[in-house]
Chains A and B, each alone.
Chain A
Amino acid sequence: MTPLLVRSSLRYLVRHPWQSGLAVLGVALGVAVVVAVDLANASALQAFDLSTEAVTGRTTHQVVAGPGGLPDDTFRRLAVEAGAPAAAPVVESWVTAGSDAVLARRHGGRTLHLLGIDPFAEAPFRPYLAGLGAASGGRSRTRVDLAALLTRPGTALLSGTTARELGVAAGSRLALRVEGRAAAVTLLGTLEPQDENTRRAVADLLIVDIATAQEIAGKVGQLSRIDLILPAGHDSGGRDRSAGGAQTRPAGKLRPPGSDSCAPSSPDLSLRSHDLLARICAALPPGAELLRAAARRESTESMTRAFRLNLTALSLLALVCGGFLIYNTITFSVVQRRTLLGTLRALGVTRGEVFALVLAEAALVAVAGSGLGLLAGVALGRGLVRLVTQTINDLYFVLSVQGLALPAWTLAKGFALGVGATLAAALGPAIEATTAPPRAVLTRSTLEARVKKALPRAGAVGTGLLALGGGLLALPGGIALAFVALFAVIVGFALLTPLATVGLMRLARRPMGALFGFLGRLAAGGVVAALSRTAVALAALVVAVSVTVGVGVMIASFRSTVVRWLDASLSADLYVTAPGRGGGFAGPTLDPGLADRAAALPGVARVDRIRRAEILSPTGPVRLIAVDRDVLHPGGEHSGGLLLRRGDPAAVGPAFTRGAVIVSEPFSRRRGVDVGSILLLRTAAGLRSFRVAGVYYDYASDQGLVMMARRTYLAAFGDRGLSGFSLTLAPGADADTVERALRAQLQATTEGLTVQSNRALKRASLAIFDRTFRITGVLRLLAGLVAGIGVLSALLALELERGRELAVLRANGLTPGQVWQLVTAETGLLGLASGLLSLPVGLALAWIMIFVVNRRSFGWTVQMETTPRVLVEAIVLALGAALLAGLYPAFRTARTSPARALREE
């Protein structure tokens, strides 16, 4: 390309600011959404990594146990009897910290991770504590000696940043609330890590001595885990340490999460290490397990994988809409310059140079759009990270994200995606430009004739893609394959759009003529006559609106399924849960005596106790719910609050009472267990098998749940703690009166217990449901916005290009008002057509999302429900977007003097 050709291209872009600007905006928005989602996901993962690193440090293995924790004595046995070279006991819990006034408020205070450590055993484990007490060489500057935690009970260390945020300093008292109980510590000093990563990692830690932690957490005599550093050779899946000491990455291939290093054939071990490991395993109590630290991290990280993948796929949809926009803009720029390109070809510019010219223009748009997209993505990411964190907290585990991570790789990937998508979208028009014969050029009629000729081919390719998508959906496979199929279906439908539009416009011609006379017929004819422009705009709008319909139907179906499930499963009248945040799935515990006292209240017919616990198993941690109630009785599929998915309803109830378990649908899918399977769980007495009697519908957790009779649980685990209990009232009892009496009784003994009526609990559950789908809604909106810009750009291009045609009509007596009507009728028809076409496409997308993507990602069965409202909304949205996008072109065309328009041509 010569410098003059480059200059000519640049001037073209500058002379068409609307066109160029909209193209840049389209790319920028697409990139921004992808980058924002990626950054939000990366930030959440980084925060998770940092917090994991903060509490695990250089630990290679961990000894863990079930709900009852590890006896104190285990540490001595490991260190002394087994001769573990480096071992450190840990007590963990979650506390709420703040001033007394702040803590008095229901949701006041800041959630902190209470980490109880043994100051003498700590040195090799957590680098940010390594320097404490030493004269120099530590990674963290602090004014205290770690050993002072031991000598001065009730004292704690806190990150300097967090201390300043909470308004406390060394020597200050910090009020805490733990599971409804009040506690307090005195701040011994602050941690001031020198590097940013460590600073973030320790931001939520409250470090105390083991004994203090046991006292605060109510775990006297118990350890949460014992950290070990085993010599190299014990673990092929260990971690490498970054310079900052807080970043980790798995080195080498990891074994499945939860894999048991005490297994006799463990590939982790060198021969030399077998002895040590055998001693350690022999020293463990029956309910304990030795796990690789990396495996635990992997297991937790994998929980959110499907959620993050779904967000990424939704964000890519926005980029697809952006791709349509670019295709449209570049095609228009080629058509607009058909004479110019023809002249250049006649002057001796080769096809390759024309191709390079068009691609270079697209590259400029791509670079500008992607650059802007990165900036916007970072800004948008700050908002999205809150929504992502909220969802992770609601659904998976406690996570506190201190800020947006900006990994260079994510930014580079977003930029490359933007440039790649733009160039890919520009490829078609660039090739089109080179095939235009010199001088004969691509006249408008030639182009339209070519588009019409290509319709059957596009239809055939579209049908082929639909068949391919259908075939891929039928294949067993992961979520990624489902998304490939989803994208094939979307593009397939987009390719069928022009053919469908021609059909629709033929149908519309007569009624439009009857309604609006010759202008109506002209408008219907205009849409088909300018198919080269309208088809792409329509396809973009159909894709965007169908995504809106699809996601809308999916959320609505999901919501009504959850409502039905809540109605069925929440059958008691009042629910009491332990206060406090954090603590993972198991959460805080209640004094079992509270349930007994509640049962004695007048008007209470029965009390059902619930215990949530995370149990160890050879296939990773298992979320278990132990219930008092006979949840399933013989005599019906739906009884006692649960809906059975599989299993003989008559047999499940008695089997459950006798010690069998039932598993939720996601659990069955994730772990590959079904009715009749044997589930191995690590109980206080070691591994024990439980028969699976049934699979039930459940939407509380995509990780899956195991339900067990509380009697069976007590026998197996010996854990008497309660996570909550429910009250069923006697017939005729007044719910309000009982609730008041219950509150009065409970608050006399325990602060901050949550008492909710059946209706309030359902409302709260649905509020969480709505909150978790908020980010989906935001992404749906953004995809719609990109498509809206695409439609605006396409209609602008279409109407500007038709300037002469409209000027001829004006010269022949069409009033400016009639031009308005004509343009508006055309854009309205486009909107209506895309609205109508988006309905079947949207429903197909909803079907795929509900029955394939959701099933493979989360394992839930959702009943698809289509409400007329969602469908009407889609048509109104498409019509509105098209009419809105047609406003400026209509205004501009009506105002332009016909003489000028004719002369300009």
Chain B
Amino acid sequence: MYHAGAMAGRDEILIEIRDLSRTYEEGGRERTVLRGANANLRRGEIAVLVGRSGTGKSTLLNLLSGIDPPSGGEVVIDGVSISRLSERERTLFRRDRIGFVFQFFNLIPTLTVEENFLLPLELKGRRGRVPPAARQAALDLLAEVGLADRRASFPDRLSGGEQQRVAVARALAHDPLLVLADEPTGNLDLETGLAVLALLDRLTRRAGKTLVMATHSPEVVGLADRVFRIEDCRLIELPPAAKPGSPA
């Protein structure tokens, strides 16, 4: 199932970020995190957001997923302006079309590995039903991340790397249009982090999914098709030569 749409419409614009702004109120004062951001991302592209902590990377991911509504501008995904949707519509949009990978894995502790994995499918399915074919495809994916033998385990029995592999598979299980990853290696050692990155890269590219990943790890940049940085509340795309870690 996760192969569906792979490589289809490769040049088609999937995400349009139009004049996007986000301001928060803190202690009675306004603090701007993002101002007038503009960008387009195509289907199947892997984009990386770099920058120091607190520059607004997570904020942008939240705006892209519809978790957070923008203060100005809009986000259009697959032709749908999610900024104009109601809270419930944004939630249902996210459920159907977006997969998430978190820094702290965020698996549901009271569900087994397999159940965690099937949860997005159930949420997407009608009345919580998962079609047998979708279930089988998802289980195949679980085998592919090397955790078929741990499917009955609860998350607290897994190592950090294993948990993040489950999280990566979970993000792709329901065949989303877009995968958002927020510091997916931030809580892992270098070696495990690289393995998880390789897995994420392999699976999203093969499935033709668009991946937007926030990170401050320079190793990630090498995987990216495009690199963005948030600087002084502005979203700036770095030219290939200026990618962090690239030879100047």
A→B interface (CB under 8 Å) = 1-5, 7-9, 11-12, 15, 339-340, 342-352, 437-440
Q: Are A351 and B128 in contact (CB under 8 A)?
A: no
Known: A3-B122, A437-B68. A343 touches B108 (CB 8 A): yes
Residue ranges of B at the interface with A (Cβ–Cβ < 8 Å) = 62, 65, 67-68, 87-88, 91-92, 94-96, 98, 100, 102, 104, 106, 108-111, 115, 118-120, 122-125, 128
Asked if B119 contacts A11 (CB within 8 A), the reply is no
Specify the chain A residue showing the minimal Cβ separation from B104: A339
Query: Shortest distance in angstroms between A309's beta carbon and chain B's nearest beta carbon?
Result: 46
Q: How far is the CA of A269 from the CA of B138 in the complex (A)?
A: 82
Q: Is the CB of A4 within 8 A of B111?
A: yes
Question: Which of A340, A347, A351, A440 is B120 in contact with, Cβ under 8 Å?
Answer: A347
Decide if B115 touches A347 in the complex (CB within 8 Å): no
For B120, list chain A residues within 8 Å (CB).
347-348
Question: How far is A12 from B98 in the complex, measured between Cα atoms in Å?
Answer: 27
Give the shortest distance, in Å, between B69 (CB) and chain A (any CB). Answer: 10
Whether B128 and A348, one on each chain, are in contact in the complex, defined by CB atoms closer than 8 angstroms, is no
- In the complex, given contacts A2-B122, A439-B102, A440-B67, what are 18 additional A-B residue pairs having Cβ atoms less than 8 angstroms apart? A2-B125, A4-B115, A4-B118, A4-B122, A4-B128, A8-B108, A9-B110, A11-B111, A340-B110, A343-B106, A343-B108, A346-B94, A347-B94, A347-B95, A347-B100, A347-B119, A349-B123, A350-B92
CB-contact partner of B100 in A4, A339, A346, A351, under 8 A = A346
15 A-B contact pairs sorted by A residue (CB < 8 Å): A4-B118, A4-B122, A8-B110, A15-B110, A340-B109, A342-B106, A344-B108, A345-B91, A346-B100, A346-B102, A347-B95, A348-B91, A349-B95, A439-B67, A440-B67
With beta carbons under 8 angstroms apart, the residue of A12, A343, A351, A437 that contacts B88 is: A351
Taking a contact as CB atoms under 8 Å apart, the answer to whether A350 and B67 are in contact is no
State in angstroms the CA–CA spacing of A843 and B91 once bound together: 51
Q: How many A-B residue pairs have CB under 8 A?
A: 82
Q: How far is the CB of A457 from chain B (nearest CB, A)?
A: 18
- List B contacts of A344 (CB < 8 A): 108
The docked-state distance in angstroms from the alpha carbon of A339 to that of B87 is 19
Which partner residue on chain A sits nearest B123 by CB separation?
A348
B36 CB, nearest partner CB in chain A, Å: 23
**Inside 8 A of A12's CB, which chain B residues have their CB?**
110
**B128 contacts A3, C-beta separation under 8 Å:** yes
| Chain A residue at minimal CB-CB distance from B167 | A343
Which residues on A sit within 8 Å (CB–CB) of B119? 2, 4-5, 347
Q: Is A346 a contact partner of B92 (Cβ separation < 8 A)?
A: no
- List of B residues within 8 angstroms of A2 by Cβ: 119, 122-123, 125, 128
CA distance A4 to B124 in the complex (A): 12
Using Cβ atoms and an 8 Å threshold, which residues of chain B touch A11? 110-111
Q: Is B88 in contact with A350, judged by CB distance below 8 angstroms?
A: yes
What 9 pairs between A and B have smallest CB-CB spacing? A348-B95, A2-B128, A11-B110, A2-B122, A343-B106, A8-B110, A438-B67, A348-B94, A350-B91
Complex Cα–Cα for A339 and B68 (A) = 16
Given contacts A438-B67, A439-B62, contact A7 B111 (CB under 8 A): yes
Enumerate chain B residues within 8 angstroms of A9, measured Cβ to Cβ.
110
Residues of B contacting A3 in the complex (Cβ-Cβ under 8 angstroms): 122, 128
What is the chain B residue whose CB lies nearest that of A904? B156
B70 vs chain A, min Cβ distance (A): 14
A137 to chain B minimum Cβ distance, whole angstroms, is 61
Write the chain A residue with the least CB distance to B170: A347
Query: How far, in whole Å, are A1 and B122 apart by their CA atoms in the complex?
Result: 9
A348 touches B88 (CB 8 A): no
* CB neighbours of B98 from chain A (8 A): 348
Rounded to whole Å, the gap between the CB of B145 and the closest CB of chain A is 18
Chain B's nearest CB lies how many Å from the CB of A72? Answer: 81
A346 touches B128 (CB 8 A): no
On whether A346 and B88 interact (CB within 8 A), knowing A3-B122, A3-B128, A7-B115, the answer reads no
Separation in Å of the A844 CB from the closest CB of chain B? 38
- The answer to whether A1 and B91 touch across the interface, beta carbons within 8 angstroms, is no
User: Chain B contacts of A1 at CB under 8 A?
Assistant: 128
Instruction: Check A8–B65 contact: CB distance below 8 A.
Output: no
Compute how far the CA of A367 lies from the CA of B110 in the bound complex, rounded to whole angstroms. 22
User: Of all chain B residues, which has the CB nearest A2?
Assistant: B128
**Min CB distance, B90 to chain A, in Å?**
9
A7-B115, A352-B88, A439-B67 as given contacts; A347 in contact with B123, CB under 8 Å = yes
Q: How far apart are the CA atoms of A165 and B102 in the complex, in Å?
A: 76
Residues of chain A within 8 A (CB-CB) of B109 are 340
Shortest Cβ gap from A136 to chain B (Å): 63
User: How far in angstroms is the closest Cβ of chain A from B6?
Assistant: 22
Please, how many angstroms separate the alpha-carbon atoms of A5 and B98 in the complex? Answer: 19
Which residue of the partner chain A has the closest CB to B119?
A4
Whether A346 pairs with B123 at a CB distance below 8 angstroms is: no
B92 surroundings in chain A (CB, below 8 A): 348, 350
Within the assembled complex, what's the spacing in Å between the Cα atoms of A340 and B116? 12
Q: Is the CB of A8 within 8 A of B111?
A: yes
Residue of B nearest to A343 (CB): B106
Asked whether, in the complex, the Cβ of B67 is within 8 Å of the Cβ of A346, the reply is yes
**Complex-state Cα separation, A438 to B98, whole angstroms:** 14
State whether A340 touches B67 (Cβ < 8 A): no
Provide the bound-state CA to CA distance between A343 and B108, in Å. 8
Residue numbers in A under 8 Å from B125 (CB-CB): 2
Report A697 CB to chain B, min CB distance, Å.
62
The reply to whether A339 and B91 form a contact with Cβ atoms under 8 Å apart is no
Complex CA–CA separation, A352 to B115 (angstroms): 22
**Minimum Cβ distance to chain B for residue A818 (Å):** 30
| B93 → A minimal CB distance (Å) | 8
Residues of A within 8 A of B100 (CB): 346-347
Question: Shortest Cβ distance from A295 into chain B, in angstroms?
Answer: 60
* Contact of A437 (CB < 8 Å), options: B67, B95, B108, B115: B67
B110 surroundings in chain A (CB, below 8 A): 7-9, 11-12, 15, 340
Complex: A8 Cα to B100 Cα, angstroms: 19
| Residue of B67, B92, B118 contacting most chain A CB atoms (<10 Å) | B67
B147 → A minimal CB distance (Å): 18
A539→B218 CA distance, assembly (Å): 53
A349-B91 in contact (CB<8A) = yes
Interchain CA distance A343-B125 in the complex, whole Å: 19
Q: What's the least CB distance linking A360 to chain B, in Å? A: 14
Tell me, in angstroms, the Cα distance from A343 to B102 when the chains sit together.
9
Q: Which residues of A contact B106 (CB under 8 A)?
A: 339-340, 342-343, 346
Complex CA distance for A9 and B68, rounded to whole angstroms: 26
Closest to B154 in A: A11
In the bound complex, what is the Cα–Cα distance between A4 and B127 (angstroms)? 12
- Give the distance to chain B from A524, nearest Cβ to Cβ, in Å: 25
Please give, as numbers and ranges, the residues of chain B lying within 8 Å of A352 by CB-CB distance.
88
Residue of A nearest to B176 (CB): A348
How many angstroms from the CA of A351 to the CA of B128 in the assembled complex? 16
A351 to B95, CA, bound (A): 13
> Nearest Cβ in chain A — how far from B37, in angstroms?
19
CB distance from B33 to the nearest CB of A (A): 13
* A344 and B122 alpha carbons, distance in the complex (Å): 12
A437 to B96, CA, bound (A): 19
Smallest distance from the beta carbon of A448 to chain B beta carbons, Å? 16
**What distance in Å separates the Cβ of A247 from its nearest Cβ neighbour in chain B?**
48
